[in-house]
Homo-oligomer: A and B are copies of this chain.
């Protein structure tokens, strides 16, 4: 107890804020780097430079390359989950399932999905990455499933509803893959339109 003056405490808080801001810049730079240059081109040094942080500071926050990139994909996935829930503050949106399906599919067509895809593919070849990424994927997948169930107003106590929602998220992932090399927006919108209708019937 004691020994910490008010002045000391006031000084420590901004330091923690600075540290948090540095960490956040590193995480965002790591996802952007992974999305643009793939796993082979993504090192702690490259990310530190992009974030405007010294290599030592980066290594203080993330001792290994695996730490940095798995934390980055998780951080951005959480940010996106929060943003997705904020889009539909009313919760269950059974009245506008088309908008919910479109928003869920959007999770898989941006830089986060590209980054995650690079990480998955690298993890399929590298043993030390595989366990970490498998765990991360399971956590992020569970959270995305929970959000989908809530926003679609799906009743998972009814048989088949859980698998209907899972299949929708698998479809969203496949649509993300189809968007990797070319702009697949026009086709994707038609598929989303059609399956949002089929889903509406299946969930009611």
| Total residues of chain A contacting the partner, CB 8 A | 45
Given known A38-B125, A163-B190, A170-B171, contact A120–B195 (CB-CB < 8 A):
no
Q: Is A198 an interface residue (CB 8 A)?
A: yes
Q: How far is the CB of A40 from chain B (nearest CB, A)?
A: 6
Would A197 and B160 count as touching, CB distance under 8 A? Answer: yes
Q: How far is the CB of A162 from chain B (nearest CB, A)?
A: 8
A182 and chain B: residue at smallest CB distance:
B134
Would B120 and A180 count as touching, CB distance under 8 A? Answer: yes
A108 and chain B: residue at smallest CB distance:
B174
Question: How far, in angstroms, from A176 to B173 measured CA to CA in the complex?
Answer: 10
Question: How far, in angstroms, from A161 to B73 measured CA to CA in the complex?
Answer: 36
Q: Is A47 an interface residue (CB 8 A)?
A: no
Q: Which of A130, A167, A169 has the most CB of B within 10 A?
A: A167
Question: How far, in angstroms, from A160 to B192 measured CA to CA in the complex?
Answer: 11
Given known A163-B194, A164-B194, A195-B163, contact A41–B178 (CB-CB < 8 A):
no
21 contacts between A and B (CB under 8 A): A37-B125, A38-B121, A114-B124, A118-B121, A134-B182, A137-B181, A163-B190, A163-B195, A166-B190, A167-B171, A167-B191, A170-B171, A170-B174, A171-B171, A173-B177, A174-B176, A174-B177, A177-B177, A198-B198, A198-B202, A201-B201
